[in-house]
Structures are given as structure tokens and as C-alpha cells.
Structure 1
Amino acid sequence: MSTTTRPDDLPQGVSLEDLHGTPALVVDIPACSAVIHLDGAHLTSWVPEGEDDVVWTSPDAVYAEGEAIRGGIPLIGPWFGPGRDGRTSPAHGWLRTARWELVSGEHFHGWADEDADVVHSDSVAITLGLEGADPSGSGITAQAQFVIGADHLQVHLEVTAGSEGLELESALHTYLSVGDVTATRFTGLADSRYLDNLRDLAPTEQQGEPVIDGPVDRVYEVASPVTVHDPVLERDIVVTPHGSSRTVLWNPWSDGAAHMDDMPLDAWRQFVCVETAVNKDGFVSLAPGETHCLKARYEISRA
């Protein structure tokens, strides 16, 4: 694994900059712009050409080594929340607070698919790696790849067990930016089972598609695409998962936001988390040295 983060190793359109006092990779190509912080391998912005930011990041987010950034796409693992035993800390594991290293970066210019009448936009692929950060000493490692373009964003999170087996929970805890979460509608969650984290993980059946009219913290038994319909920003966001077993839907509402120092009181209206996950009873068992890859593809369409 390369441990260098020298600016001259980065592809055209990608630079290493100091943002909020911490190192971040800034993507600025004709197709889009994006920001990935090395702390947590944390993408905090993706703005396709002509679009509003697709992900929401809190204006009060804390940026410091060892701190979790509120918003964007936190990489969660090797456990979710307090872990399956309900007592593991820190919450959501240590992947999101460790400082990752640049492995590679590449800029792909537009190209035509010979087998289909499709022209692919410019995109950048950035890979970050994490070694030597496992506090358990078993040697768990991780790698994250971001493929960033105008028509899609792909995030891959690979977690490799160390010298011991691992009951892995991981997630892409994506904060999607919306005009007003109370007006947002969904496709892909209807008539599925979920665990309700606001009712001690009570098993529940979803009747129709969910509506955000209060705090929501649900782990759906859904591993297929989910579409977020946003009538305020007049766009749809499609989240297509791979390697997942669950989809988490989360919004803290006003009551939850009031207890978060890194979020303005009214900010809960501006996002909804649709998380690609393997967690709770949908965890993945890994043998020593075995790898699991969790992926999500995000696409925008206009009504």
C-alpha cells in the first residue's frame, strides 16, 4: 500500500488541501466537484455539474483527527451503533475516526461504450486504505474506493478480517440532501420487515412506503434499490446497493437534533439517511483474512 499523499501523485483535477484544519482530497473536474477527508475516508460533498449538492454535511460539523464528521458518507464498521451486544464503543466503530492513506487516484475522460449507445462522463477514481489502526490488535484492515462523476457516485468499502474471525457490521451511512424531509417520498421499502430502533428493535411490517413525520431509525430487510423522491428540489436520488443485507432509514427529527451539538436545530429537515448496510441480524461472518465488499451507487434523475 502506498502511504504517500503528495500532490504530484494525484491525477489532474484532484488536489490535496487543508480544509477546516485537516487534510482533504478536493475533486474539481468539468463533470463535478467533490471533497473526501482523509479522516474517516469521509466524502462530505458531491456536486454534479448543474446540480445542488447530493449529500448533506452539517455546517457545525467537527473536523479533527479522531472525531466523526456529521453528514456526508460516514464509513461505518467493524460494528454498527453500539454493536450487536449493545455495549461496544465507540459508536459505529473506528473506521470513521481513523486517518486513512491515499492508495491511488485516476482521472478517466469521457468514453463511449462499444457495446451500447452510451457516452460515459468524466470521472475520478480515488482509493484510500487503512492499516494498523485496529485497536483490538487482530489486524483488521480496510480499503475504500470512490468513483465520482456527473451521472453517478460509487462508493466501495472493503473490510478484511485480521488474524481472528470477524462478525462484521458495516454501513455507508449516507446523508442525502433534500429540500424538506417531510415532503420526501420513497420507493423500494414498501411491505418489507424492519427492526424499529426507537422501540427496542421491535420487528415491524412496513405498510406502504414510509413517510417521515417524526423521528425514524429503522433497519429494513431490504437489499435492493431505494429511490428518494424530492418534490422540493425536483429530483430523484436512486441508491443501488451491492453486498448488503439491510437498508437503514434514519432522521432524528427536531427532538433528536436538539441533543446534537454538531447540527443546527432546524437542520433535520434538510437530509434523510438511506444507508447501505450489513448490520444487526444481517451481519457477515468472515474467516481470518477474508474480505467483504459493501457497495452503493448513487444516481440523480430529474422529474
Structure 2
Amino acid sequence: MAYDEIHRMYASLDITNYALWTRRHDDSYNQIMLMADQADQLEQSFESSSRSHRLHCTYCDEQGHISRDCPNGGYFNQICRNFSGGYCSDPCQREEITSASAAARTLLPPSAPMKPPLAGTVARNTPLRPEAFQRHLRLHPDRRFVQQLLQAITHRTDIGFQGPERPRFSKNAISAFSHATSLLVTIASEVSKGRCQGPSKSVPFPNFVCNPIGAVPKKNGDVRIILDLSQPTRDSVNSHIDKDDFSLSFPTVDQAVFILNRLGNGAFMAKFDIQSAFRLIPVRKLDHHLLGFKFDNFYYYDTVLSMGCRSSPFWFC
């Protein structure tokens, strides 16, 4: 029976008391909500059980999971063994990926111990010129904003991490292996520009956070590296960055139209895109260990804002 029906029944017991129609009958309401919660839990349990029975792993031929999540190895271990020179099948099903990636690896510098930058040093991995910003913003009304911006460009940004310091290791996305060759080329390019440190055979920091990476194809044939700082769930880098501290609102179309109307005839509207936007903003050395990843059995870490960090849009905009 729905709450509305129960409420009407109780209220009609005393038709002279109009207040009964305006008050919630707490006992009935709580009972209805409890029943609804129990029904939802039962439905979710059924869906989870049904889904688990439908899943089938082609690697170990067991039910309840897929090859990507196979505890016996599966998709990731097959590819990792290929990339490390081992064998998973004969003939190798991913020989073209392995061979192409070996060629792409020649673009990377030799593996060596990575030395973090010294504290207090000025950022050198960005084309942004603090003196130019200071000159052009000398009349800006918000001096606090100007100082924050100059500080970020000159001495690097704080991504806002407030979580426990401990190592974390997560699996890479399938897209990273699907575009392995292009990804290695992109990583080599980022390393050459000083925006990424590596490669290293050993973990570069005691509390190194090895985040999953993915690859998103771009129109020009290259790939964009996405560092997924939202994994593992509930204990990721992003989960320990306060949303309120880095909230952001963008201008609306209505605001743009209002400005055009105010300027009158002859006004023009322009749109432009900044290449490697987030990658222009350096990150302070205390946060470098939070921006790590592993690919092709080598460790790397970003020294600039990552695509996938919760605070990146705030610092860039």
C-alpha cells in the first residue's frame, strides 16, 4: 500500500481535525521508506548476482569476471609479458604491437635514477614567462589573484592533496595498450620537454603513487595521455583533493551575448585553443610522487599538471 493511501486512511478517522491532513504520519512514512530500501537492496543484489553469472573470462575460462580483471593474469599480464620480451602464446598474437613499441622505445632516454628538483628552485619546464605576466597584469584589480598566478608559474603549483602518504599501484587502462606505440612516442616527447621524468627501472619515491594511464586518440594521429587520478576508488589522489577548494565556474553564452550587446555594432567574438594547456603549469616537487605512472616496465612521473587531476582546471583557468 502506498503512503498516500495510508495517510488518507488515518486522516479520515477524524474528519473534524483538518490538521491531520497537513501533517506527515511518521510511523507510516518510516515503514514505507524501510520497505523501499529493502526492495532496492534486493534488486541490486539480484542484478549483481545475475551480472556475475553472465561474465566469462576467456583467459582462465571461469565465470564471474572478464579477462581484463582476471586474477590469474589475463589481458594485462599477456601484454606485459610481450613488452618485457617474454612469450604468452605461439605465435605471438600481439607481435605487431611489440615490434612497433620496441622501435618507439628507442626515442626514450636511457634508464637512470631520477633526481627530484631541489626545493625552492624556479620552474624551468614551462614556456610561460613570469616577467611578461607581471608586466601585462600590473593594472589588474585583483592583486591577490595576480600574486597567486605569478607564484604558480615561478615556483610551481600545489595540487591540493590532503590524504595519507602511502604508495598506491593501479592497472593501466586497455586504451594504453591499444595505442602502445603512439603512447610511447608521446611519453618520449613529454620527457624531452621536461614535463615528465623518466624512464626508471626502480620506483623513484618511497610513497610513489602509480596511477592508471589511458590514451585518447587526437585528430592529428597522436594520442593524449590521461592520468587517471581517480583510482583506486575512495583512496585516489583526486579523492583527497577538496572539491570546494578548487571549484570553478565558466562564463555562459548569456554573459558573452550581454557583453556583445553592451559593446554594440562592430564588436567581434573570438575563440582560441591553447596547445598543451594544463601541461604549461608546473607542479611543486612535494607533489611529484602523486603524479606517477608505469608503462612498458618503466616508471615515470609528471612535473606539470596532469590531464585527470581534479585541481588542474582551476589552476589553468
TM score, norm. by length of structure 2: 0.24
Of Structure 1 and Structure 2, the greater strand share is in 1
Instruction: Name the larger-Rg structure.
Output: 2
